[in-house]
Amino acid sequence: MPAEIQPRFINDIRNTRFKLVRSIRFGTYTDFLIQDIPQTYFNSINLNVNLNFDLFNVRGFSVFIGSGLTGNFRFGLIGLGGWYERLSSNHLRDFNLAINGLSGFRLNPSKKRIGYELLLFPVSFGLNDSSFLELSVVQMRVIIKLFDSP
């Protein structure tokens, strides 16, 4: 017989509904198919720490919302010399701290090492630079479990 008995709902909230999620996101951005801006090429690397809450969770499928902090490092070139009004290149290199919010769907079976998340409208607002805004319509994330959870 267990030494301590807790109601199932409290145990679920503490152990499975809240998740501390750490992630690394990176991407390369260009002006491909955009004609009215200078030629642009830059990379972005994000380190995220989010606290996600499962609104609905059944057998490895969940609907969730979350919020957290993002550290973003961007670097690249704006104006590669190919645009007729801009003959020189400007280097882009900056770091931004941001607060983020997200919602989405997660498919993460407990017995599998890989899971998937579909994020809907994830957004980040800059804290140290009021002009920093990162918004996506849809993002797909792959979850790789490195260690077995107890």
The DSSP secondary structure of the chain, one letter per residue, reads --S----HHHHHIIIIIEEEEEEEEEEEEE-TT--SS--EEEEEEEEEEEEEEEEEEETTEEEEEEEEEEEEEEEEEE--S-STT--S-EEEEEEEEEEEEEEEEEE--TT-SEEEEEEEEEEEEESS-TT-EEE-SEEEEEEE--S---
Name the band, by pLDDT with cuts 50, 70 and 90, for residue 69.
very high
Lowest mean pLDDT among 33-42, 64-73, 101-110: 33-42
- Give per-residue pLDDT as tens, 93-137: 888 899 999 999 999 887 888 888 898 988 888 887 667 788 878
Lowest mean pLDDT among 51-55, 73-77, 99-103: 73-77
> Is the residue at 67 inside a domain?
yes
Domain of 93 in residue numbering reads as 8-144
CATH value at residue 138: 2.40.160
> Is the residue at 149 inside a domain?
no
> Is the residue at 2 inside a domain?
no
Count the domains in the chain: 1
Global pTM exceeds 0.85: no
> Is the residue at 3 inside a domain?
no
> Is the residue at 136 inside a domain?
yes
